Amino acid sequence: MAKSLLHPYIPNSAPEIKREIMRHIGIESIEELYVDLPQKFRLRGRLNLPSPMSEQEVRRHVENLLSENKTFWDMPTFLGAGCWPHYVPAVVEAIVQRTELLTSYTPYQAEISQGMLQALFEYQSMVCEIAGMDVANCSMYDWASALGEAVRMAARLTHRTRAIVPRIIHPERALTLQTYVEPIGLRVESIDYNLETGQLDMEDLKARISEDTGSSLLALIPSHLAY
CA torsion angle for 25, 26, 31, 35 (degrees, to 10)? -100
Domain that holds residue 162: 143-217
- What is the number of structural domains in the chain? 2
Element (H, E) at 18: helix 15-25
Query: In this structure, what DSSP letter does residue 193 have?
Result: B
The rounded percent of the chain whose pLDDT value lies above 70 is 88
Give the model's confidence band at 226: pLDDT under 50 very low, under 70 low, under 90 confident, else very high.
low
222, part of any domain: no
The answer to whether residues 73 and 85 touch, using CB atoms and an 8 Å cutoff, is yes
Give the model's confidence band at 218: pLDDT under 50 very low, under 70 low, under 90 confident, else very high.
low
**How many residues would you count in the chain?**
227
The pLDDT of 19-36, averaged and rounded, is: 90
180, part of any domain: yes
123, part of any domain: no
Rounded Cα–Cα distance for residues 119 and 87 (Å): 21
36, part of any domain: yes
Rounded Cα–Cα distance for residues 145 and 112 (Å): 27
Round the average pLDDT of the chain to a whole number and report it.
83
Q: What is the pTM of this model?
A: 0.56
Alpha carbons within 13 A on the beta-carbon side of 185: 5
CATH number at residue 208: 3.40.640.10
pLDDT in tens, 166-182: 888 888 899 999 999 99
155, part of any domain: yes
186, part of any domain: yes
The pLDDT of 134-154, averaged and rounded, is: 86
80, part of any domain: no
